[in-house]
Amino acid sequence: MKIKIIFCSLIAVCCSCVSRTDGIRGESHRPAVPVLALKTGSPVLQLRLTRQDSTNYLLEKVEISFEGTTDINDVDSVGLFPADESGMPAFRIPLAPMQKADEKVVLHPNYRIDVDTLICWVAVRLKDSIDLTHRIKASCTGIRTDAGKVDITPPANEAAQRVGVALRQHMQDGVHTSRIPGLTTSKKGTLLAIYDARRQSGRDLQGDIDIALNRSADGGRTWSPMQVVLDMGPWGGLPEKYNGVSDACILADDNTGDLYVFGLWMHGVLDSRTGKWVEGLTDTSTVWNHQWRSRGSGPGYGVRQTPQLLVTKSTDDGLTWSTPENITRQVKEAGWWLLAPAPGRGITLADGTLVFPSEGRGETGASFSTITYSKDGGKTWTTANPAYANTNECMAAQLSDGSIMLNMRERGNRGRLEGNGRAIAVTRDLGKTWTEHPTSRSALVEPACMASLYRHDYTENGDKKSVLLFLNPNSKTRRNDITLKVSFDDGNTWPETYWLLLDEYDGAGYSCITSVDEKTVGVLYEGSQADMVYQQIPLNDILHPDAR
């Protein structure tokens, strides 16, 4: 089979030396991307071979060393693959099939190269269950062709790659796309990951979408099968594709152990021009609209007027969930066009108040961000005043002085290079009043995308301490460079020395953070290598960059 060779600007190769033998220049690049368990293969080393004349050659042998890998027994097998049109490995057409892994591996492609530049990948398949603190490091120690040996420059990136779990992948469990992650840790220490199970397409509401969940009792090393927690099914005479539930937010009550999942249910479709409910929809209808577009949502409370905010509760650590309760009339003002959970996670304040971030559209349809809270253990809920306009997806964290910081997606940042920055506001009275933070619209850039804000508490030398963590695509233009940042002063500064790049390539970019334990942080994000990537980050790696 003839392989289509790709010239891909997505892949950055950093080299200064060229081969000295046989008219072929060899370069290598080790990307900052996660190496994932539960996946067919993960890229660990890119190779680029460029011939200096038009002579075809046979690629006979590629030697790979795993020196610097924590435990080679984590790796099941190793192979060589051409780059596809996206620049990633084309696993269906191997140059050298997967073979058993060892400290040193020799691959035998025996493939005739008739192009000026060959871009290919060394990829590995991990064991299904591995220690998530381990690292993988692959290097090419030699390449031989039928014309002789090719020298290859080492990667500019000396760091080994972090491992993780491909928690959700395209078409897994018959789900077309899994999107919009939320992650929390229960009082018992169980990790709960939630997401949209978008069954028929990757598109937002309206569609056949359920809120699904996976649980882990071992810090994310292994996960239970997918479990649906919010699904309206066929309802009101309309099929499931017109009763989607999306944008989940999960909240753990740190005192009682109760768990809550909030989601937005959309029944039918509102006409984008008139805002009127569309009659006569069937399973074959193609009419579509979104609650954030034009008149896709509207004022009022009825299911034919505005999407509904649902909540389900678990009292057994997420094993079973209650019948959904519709709290729209409790929390939404009649004149607002929309009130929805902001996806991700909620928090328990020091006084026991439960808070989940929320978003909406006001009386003119303009978007805003705020919080919704309960002071009676989840029996009733109240929505605060809007914190900021022209924002939506947001995340809340309690600061050391007891106030609440809200970090918000600023919709105007899309395409904005100058003045790009997340909107940030603080409240000391549960959202009756808000104050814009000094770092608002300046400290944390974004390509207009959901992001995570989280407070991690820990003990050091007997002293109780905390840091703020922030995770998003560290870019003004693309959803790439997923980067974890840390603040030691309640979000006033985010020193670049401590930034930790997790995934340099393009993905959907949404994320969520939790504490696995005092010494470990867990992150769930939409990365380049899977719909949902889970990784553990030791606190020591966050606090001490030199130890990475």
Q: Are residues 56 and 148 in the same domain?
A: yes
- At 547 the pLDDT is 82
CATH number reported for the structural domain that contains residue 465 in this entry:
2.120.10.10
Task: Kindly report the length of the chain.
Answer: 548
DSSP tally for the chain: helices H, then strands E: 2, 39
One domain for residues 329 and 255: yes
> Dihedrals φ, ψ of 328, to 5°?
-55, -45
Mean pLDDT of 359-382: 98
Predicted confidence (pLDDT) at residue 14 exceeds the cutoff of 70: no
Tell me: do 153 and 187 sit in the same domain: no
Per residue in 487-522, pLDDT (tens digit) is 999 999 999 999 999 999 999 999 999 999 999 999
120 phi-psi bin (left φ>0, alpha ψ -120 to 50, beta other): beta
Q: Which residues pair with 374 in a beta bridge?
A: 354
Same domain, 304 and 413: no
| Other Cβ atoms closer than 10 A to 438 | 11
Residues 398 and 489 in one domain: yes
9 in any annotated domain: no
Neighbours of 58 (CB within 10 A): 14
Strands ordered across the beta sheet of 243-252: 325-326, 308-314, 259-267, 243-252, 344-345
| Percent of the chain predicted with pLDDT > 90 | 93
For residue 27, is pLDDT > 90?
yes
Q: Tens digits of per-residue pLDDT, 330-343?
A: 999 999 999 999 99
| Of 31, 143, 156, nearest in space to 95 by CA | 143
The most distant pair of C-alpha atoms in the chain lies apart, rounded to whole Å, by 77
Q: What is the Cα–Cα distance from 472 to 68, expressed in whole angstroms? A: 29
Q: Is residue 151 part of a domain?
A: yes
Please state the separation of Cα 482 from the chain's center in Å. Answer: 8
CA distance 88 to 455: 35
pTM over 0.85: yes
CA distance 408 to 233: 32
pLDDT at 469: 98
The Cα 442–Cα 455 span in angstroms is 21
Q: Find, among 368, 370, 367, the residue nearest to 357 by Cα.
A: 370
Residue 548: its pLDDT value, please?
85
User: Burial of 232 by CB count in 10 Å (0-12 exposed, 13-18 middle, 19+ buried)?
Assistant: buried
Catalytic residue (choose from 240, 359, 393, 410): 393
- DSSP secondary structure, 317-348, as one string: TTSS-PPPEE-HHHH--TT-SEEEEPSEE-EE
In a domain, 355, yes or no: no
Containing H/E element for 125?
Answer: strand 117-126
Out of 14-18, 160-164, 198-202, 342-346, pick the least confident: 14-18
| pLDDT digits 0-9 by tens, 315-326 | 999 999 999 999
Do 159 and 173 lie in one domain? The reply is no
Query: What domain range includes position 419?
Result: 387-548
Please check whether residues 213 and 306 belong to one and the same domain.
yes
Mean pLDDT value across residues 271-275: 94
Question: In percent, how much of the chain has pLDDT > 70?
Answer: 96
Q: Is the pLDDT of residue 2 over 90?
A: no
The confidence band for 22, taking pLDDT boundaries of 50, 70 and 90, is low
Rounded distance between C-alpha atoms, residue 229 and residue 222, angstroms: 20
103 is a catalytic site residue:
no
d(CA 131, CA 430): 41
444 with 481, same domain: the answer is: yes
Distance of CA 47 to the CA centre of its chain: 27
On whether both 134 and 40 belong to a single domain, the answer is yes
Position 9 pLDDT exceeds 50: no
Q: Average pLDDT, stretch 286-293?
A: 95
DSSP 3-state of 150? strand
Q: In total, how many domains does the chain have?
A: 3
Is 316 part of a structural domain of the chain?
Answer: yes
